[in-house]
Amino acid sequence: MDNAEIIRGFRRRKLIFENYCVANGVKKAICPSCGLPTLNARAAFGYCFICKWEDDGQDDPDADFVFGGPNGSLSLTDNRIRFGTSVADLDPTVNILYKPEELVRLLLEWSEEFKQNKPVEPSEYVRYLDDFAQKKLEFFASGRS
């Protein structure tokens, strides 16, 4: 998987989760680095526990710049590629990140609230994502110091 493919995967995932959150009243913001709904708000220095990006407000217009600060020497583009590369060639349960509809299906299976299409508490939602992270992305969580 080349970098352009990884970025396309990110954009598709971001769009699907943006639409999903709006349609289901899920009050989460989409991480600008991994495209998953892991943040409580944008540009509020929230920490994405999936891709380890701290959201200092950087987004597409300046994605290639290194801001320093919490993300050190990584640009947003660097971290998108870093995360995408880390998960791209691994087993199919991890490549689920490239099938966000499948991740939504899993979230629905895990939650009565999701099944009933009710809005859920953000803290509960984070718990589901956290379960996902622990089950599917353990290898990645240990990757970045």
Contacting residues toward Zn ion, per CB under 5 A:
31, 33-34, 48, 50-51, 53
CB of 112 to Zn ion, least distance (A): 26
C-beta closer to Zn ion: residue 50 or 106 = 50
C-beta closer to Zn ion: residue 64 or 117 = 64
CB of 29 to Zn ion, least distance (A): 11
C-beta closer to Zn ion: residue 116 or 142 = 142
CB of 89 to Zn ion, least distance (A): 19
Q: Which long-range contacts (CB under 8 A, 24 or more apart) does 74-77 make?
A: 76/32, 76/33, 77/7
C-beta closer to Zn ion: residue 50 or 103 = 50
Residue 47: φ, ψ to 5°? -105, 125
C-beta closer to Zn ion: residue 48 or 106 = 48
String of DSSP letters for 68-137: -GGGTT--HHHHHHHHHHHHHTS-TTTGGGG-HHHHHHHHHHH-HHHHTT----HHHHHHHHHHHHHHH-
CB of 70 to Zn ion, least distance (A): 13
CB of 10 to Zn ion, least distance (A): 10
> Is the CB of residue 93 less than 8 Å from the CB of residue 136?
yes
